[in-house]
Amino acid sequence: MMRAIAVPIISGLLALSAAAQVKITSGAEKIAVEIHGQPYTTFYIAGKDVTKPYLHPLRAPSGTYVTRMWPMENVAEEAPIAKPDHPHQRGLWIAHDSVNKTDFWNNEASYQEGGSRGHIGNIVLKKVDGVKSGKDKGSIAATFEWTPRSAQKPLLTESRLMTFYDDAKARIIDFDVTFTALDEKVTFGDGKDGFFGVRMRPVLYEKKPDGVPKDVEYKTTGKLSNADGLVGEKELWSKPSNWCDYSGDVNGEKVGIAILDNPENPHHPVRWHARGYGLFAANPFGLAAFTNDKSLDGSITIEPGQKLRFRYRTIVHAGDVKEAAIAAAWEQYAKMK
């Protein structure tokens, strides 16, 4: 009888494993995401160098990665960059430079509080709420506490749900993030450095990395574009738009990543802190900072117990922005509830 029962159970587990095309594997400090048995990304949630959670690296369906490796890894392609910039820009992350005047964006572990840096905060894992693998999609749910280093008392909690989809032509992630203020009101201030950010692979920059010596050739192929037809940092930086895309060529393969702003997000369409040196961020709080008009204010305040919700979709795709049909992808996304 024991054997007769065990065989169907084992068969069922094998069938379930085979059906789980999006596989999520949880660990103490990181959570791995695989699609069809191939690595897609890893969610870093804790550890001595993790001052805010981040996804690294992000990959296209072919396996080609599109985000910068440094400072997490040293690779030959990035070796000519003698002085890499902004070590706090890791993979894909969510943070802001002014939350009750505390900087959660520029918060690398080596950065010290005080002086020109002011107050610095860490985004600390409270708990992993759930990890699910599945045939067509998988998900990670986690709660984080945004905590100033000086106070060691969180200002708010962040409840994040990330859903990863199995798609033959793209790698799609939906982000659903809700902030809850705790014991005091919390203000996301009008600042430039925020909020939903990606740091691109250097060959996908629009311009030669600043850290490459002048006498060293370093080819970059990237191009920024948005939903309103603006192209390049000079045209689209700080401008509001439904989506923005950063695409280029890696060893003859055209790849890119798009960030889509949900139409129900506060301050939609979002403004873009997108730079030729590979930074690519949707910032719903930068208004005075982007327009240089001090009479304007993009800040948002929530009272104790009050919630603030944001949703975004990222698409790591093959081809350029037109070949990947990002405009149509946003129209489809905008119809979702």
> What share of the chain in percent tops pLDDT 70?
94
Q: What are phi and psi of 294, to 5 degrees?
A: -70, -10
Q: What token pair was written down for 269?
A: 């369409």
| DSSP letter, residue 5 | H
- Model confidence at 1: pLDDT above 80: no
Sign of CA dihedral 218, 221, 33, 21: negative
Q: How far apart are CA 144 and CA 162, in angstroms?
A: 14
Who has greater pLDDT, 152 or 34? Answer: 34
Who has greater pLDDT, 217 or 6? Answer: 217
Looking at residue 116, its amino acid is: S
For residue range 297-321, what is the model confidence (pLDDT) as tens digits? 999 999 999 999 999 999 999 999 9
> What share of the chain in percent tops pLDDT 90?
90
pLDDT of residue 221: 98
For residue range 243-298, what is the model confidence (pLDDT) as tens digits? 999 999 999 999 999 999 999 999 999 999 999 999 999 999 999 999 999 999 99
User: What's the average model confidence in pLDDT over 225-229?
Assistant: 98
User: What's the average model confidence in pLDDT over 51-59?
Assistant: 98
pTM confidence score: 0.93
Secondary structure (3-state) at 137 = strand
- Model confidence at 115: pLDDT above 90: no
Beta bridge partners of 271: 240, 283
- Model confidence at 6: pLDDT above 90: no
- Model confidence at 9: pLDDT above 90: no
For residue range 166-185, what is the model confidence (pLDDT) as tens digits? 998 899 999 999 999 999 99
Q: What token pair was written down for 335?
A: 């119809």
pLDDT band for position 60 (cuts 50, 70, 90): very high
Assign 3-state DSSP to the chain and report helix, strand, coil percentages, each to 5: 15, 40, 45
Direct distance between the N- and C-terminal alpha carbons of the chain, in angstroms, rounded to an integer: 49
- Model confidence at 116: pLDDT above 80: no
pLDDT of residue 10: 33
User: What's the average model confidence in pLDDT over 120-134?
Assistant: 98
Q: Do residues 69 and 75 lie in contact, with contact meaning Cβ atoms separated by under 8 Å?
A: yes
pLDDT of residue 117: 80
pLDDT of residue 211: 92
Q: Do residues 269 and 141 lie in contact, with contact meaning Cβ atoms separated by under 8 Å?
A: no
Looking at residue 224, its amino acid is: L
pLDDT of residue 168: 87
Secondary structure (3-state) at 124 = strand
Q: How far apart are CA 53 and CA 144, in angstroms?
A: 9
- Model confidence at 2: pLDDT above 50: no
Q: Do residues 90 and 50 lie in contact, with contact meaning Cβ atoms separated by under 8 Å?
A: no
pLDDT of residue 19: 57
Q: Do residues 122 and 149 lie in contact, with contact meaning Cβ atoms separated by under 8 Å?
A: yes
Instruction: Return the closest-CA partner of residue 105 out of 51, 149, 152.
Output: 51
pLDDT of residue 337: 76
For residue range 13-25, what is the model confidence (pLDDT) as tens digits? 334 444 569 999 9
Q: How far apart are CA 113 and CA 117, in angstroms?
A: 6
pLDDT of residue 241: 98
